[in-house]
Amino acid sequence: MKKPLMLASMEACVDHILKTVPDTVVLGIPLGVGKPNPLVNALYRRIKANPKRKLRIITALSLEKPVGHSALEKNFLKPLVERVFGDYPDMDYVKDFRAGKLPPNIEVQEFFMKTGDYLGNAAAQMKYISTNYTYAARDMAVQGLNVVAQAVGAKESEAGLRLSLSSNPDITEEVIECVRASGQPVLAVGVVNRKMPFMPNGAEVAPEFFDVVVTDPEGTHDIFAPPNGKVGTADYAIGLHASSLVTDGGTLQIGIGSLGDAIGQALIVRDRHGAEYRHIMESICPEGLAGRELGRFDAGLYGCSEMFVNAFLRLIEAGIIRREVFDDAVLQQLLNNGRIKNQTVTPELLQTLLEVGRIRSPLTQDDMVFLQRFGILRPEVQLTGHHLSLDDKRCGSDLSDKDNLTYASSHMLGSRLTHGIFMTGGFFIGPRDFYERLRTMVPQELAKIDMTRIDFINQLYGNDALKRAQRRKARFMNTTMVMTLLGAAASDALESGQVVSGVGGQYNFVAMSHALADARLIMMLRATHDNKDGLKSSIVWNYGHVTIPRHLRDVVITEYGVAELRGQSDSEVVKRLIAVADSRFQSELVKQAKAHGKLEADYEVPDCYRHNLPEVLAAKLKPWSQAGLLPDFPFGTDLTEDELHMVRAMKKMKHASDHPTELLGLAVKSLWEDKQAPPAYLERLGLAHARGFKNKLMQRLFAGNL
């Protein structure tokens, strides 16, 4: 392969791109944290200043440091952002895109948006590309990409520079393959960021993978690191219910955010505090614990998720994510069937591999590669002609001969299978300590994490037998915004068609859950949502947008329980969803279902489901929160105790600002009580020397809500 052009300057790379692509630059960059921000900014500024040139950016999940909307939020966030995000450089196109100020010669198209950030943004809504994650590479390629750029991890070795796609091996290779397969040229650019964790296995690429490698120190900067969010009562209840559906020895997929953290912590409580876990589950399961999984993880779990998140890393460290899978369908099936015990290499294993036809007799070089890759034969064993040799020991390679098999088994076998993987991911994003733990993880453990292509993770097509063998007892956990009473899910957009985020890989995991005989789809949602329009049920009769059609319904979880929908009639689906709905909305849901002929005229909600209320649930979980099993931040937080106090008060104020009656009540209460906030808090928020009625009222409101 041709060696890449090595450039030590970001501006020199921009020069090279503009020279190589004389017309419109169509730039593809990864979703999330794998974007080479300094290069993207340099290219954007150059083309923005030259109206004769054009730029189209095709990407997803463009991130930006939080700035806050009000003066109060901005003052609070400024020191926090400086501390947490370090020297992470925001991208100029993101700021202009959000503000509606993209120049006419530049376009941005995304196939997944940061949740809620582009509602009402006309340009973003019109340019959005709706696609499943497995088709994202194909759909990016048809946009005419001629440049693909990515931030990469790097290591120096005796053989020279080693590169890793690190956070984003998800679609980069496939995008380049798709474009080149169409006969179109594409310039592949890798920008070294030495703060990116160097991920091995599927993420490592030869420098020759890129046409250009940029080593400018400007490319090295802090990675975008959103702090862990608080896990509230509803999230914990959902996570607890979900954790009780996970089977030991199975496969797990979860997502980012407080729900993912809740599931992770619930699994840890289940594994380490069995008696307490049972008591918690008894308190929140009105129908009893039949069908729930309550035991420890003796065999462990295999993580297989498009997003490798902090909760997964915590489960690895807790020894729960530890079930290793192997990149060979026959070997994996032998493990599944118990014919290989505890990954131990035995003489019987060689015999079995011969019997099932995985290796031949006499052995070939391909057989030797297989046997030594997985540690079945020791690495020092050599195949010469028709003989196996190790030091001064030698036997024939025809292992169908009993004497040869016995001799090889006695002198040449390894002890345990090698090259097992217990976590497969397509991209990652997490808080600061998540990246640091990856950077400092011992090589033996890091080798068991395989960051790889999304077309491997998100579908069964291609090496179908291997994927089915690895993904046994899979639990695919996804979140949604709204469920209809007939079982359809709306996860990515509002009824109006305004895109909230994107389809991402949700449909892919839904399809897999139905294609794998022992898998389940677990769709999670909070029973209500509250905004300026007031409190609404997240379970509704119908909705004007659908992400997942109702014929693919399976398991639905709210904080009030689990609704098993697979194979059920419409009336039974309606009853089971009403049973996990907020009780303040159950009567109306029953009325609507009856009006549309989906419920019997005399149906009534059973009494055990009529107490689905936040305060009732909070009372049930409070003892376990106080006992430290369900902490607000199970995996830590970047915020100080003072900042947490301030955030709680500001959230109350923000909530009240959307509800005038509540705001009036808080204002009167704060004026009446005349509480005082610590001077340091007021100084930080810019309220220490409040003047004018509005600022003085804000000062009182803040103090009153502390």
Q: Which domains does the chain have, with CATH numbers?
A: 5-219 (3.40.1080.10), 233-324+422-609 (3.40.1080.20), 329-411 (no CATH), 641-705 (no CATH)
Which residues on neighbouring strands pair with residue 382, listed in sequence order?
A: 389
* The pLDDT of residue 157: 85
Q: Which of 444, 489, 475, 39 is nearest to 267 (CA)?
A: 475
In contact, 496 and 282? CB cutoff 8 Å = no
| Cα pseudo-dihedral 315, 320, 322, 323, rounded to 10 | -130
Residue 145 tokens, joined: 């990409």
Tokens of 513: 């859950």
* Helix (H) or strand (E) run with residue 698 in it: helix 692-705
DSSP β-ladder status, 534-537 and 528-531 = antiparallel
Contact assessment for residue 635 and residue 261, using Cβ atoms and an 8 Å cutoff: yes
In sequence order, what E strands does 452-515 have? 474-479, 482-484, 489-490
Distance CA 149, CA 187 (A): 8
Q: Choose among 87, 82, 17, 111: nearest CA to 55.
A: 17
Q: What is the rounded CA–CA span in Å between residue 324 and residue 321?
A: 9
CA neighbours closer than 13 Å in the CB half-sphere of residue 526: 16
- List, run by run, the mean pLDDT of 10-residue segments along the chain (706 residues): 92 98 96 97 98 96 91 89 96 94 96 92 94 92 95 92 96 94 94 98 96 97 95 97 98 92 98 97 95 97 97 97 98 95 93 94 96 97 93 92 94 96 97 97 97 96 95 97 97 95 94 97 96 91 96 98 97 98 98 97 96 97 97 95 87 75 64 75 82 73 74
Cα–Cα distance measured from residue 555 to residue 523, given in angstroms and rounded to the nearest whole number: 6
**Encoding tokens for residue 415?**
């002890």
Q: How far apart are CA 54 and CA 106, in angstroms?
A: 6
CB 92: neighbour CB atoms within 10 A?
16
Return the pLDDT at 15: 98
Q: What contacts 390, CB < 8 A, 6 or more positions away?
A: 378, 380, 381, 382, 411, 412
Cα–Cα separations (whole angstroms), residue 593 to 123, 184, 525, 540, 575: 39, 54, 20, 10, 9
User: How many H-runs (helices) and E-runs (strands) does the chain carry?
Assistant: 27, 25
Give me the residues paired with residue 160 across strands: 157
CA 612 to CA 77: how far, in whole Å?
A: 36
State residue 149's pLDDT score. Answer: 98
Cβ pair 304, 252 in contact under 8 A: yes
What is the C-alpha to C-alpha distance for residues 567 and 571, in angstroms, rounded to an integer? 12
| Spatial separation of the C-alpha atoms in residues 102 and 96, rounded to whole Å | 5
Half-sphere exposure of 286 (CA within 13 A, CB side): 17
Here the contacts of 570-577 (C-beta below 8 Å, separation 24 or greater) are: 570/486, 570/598, 571/598, 571/599, 571/600, 573/485, 573/486, 573/487, 574/485, 574/486, 574/598, 574/599, 575/599, 575/603, 577/483, 577/485, 577/487, 577/539
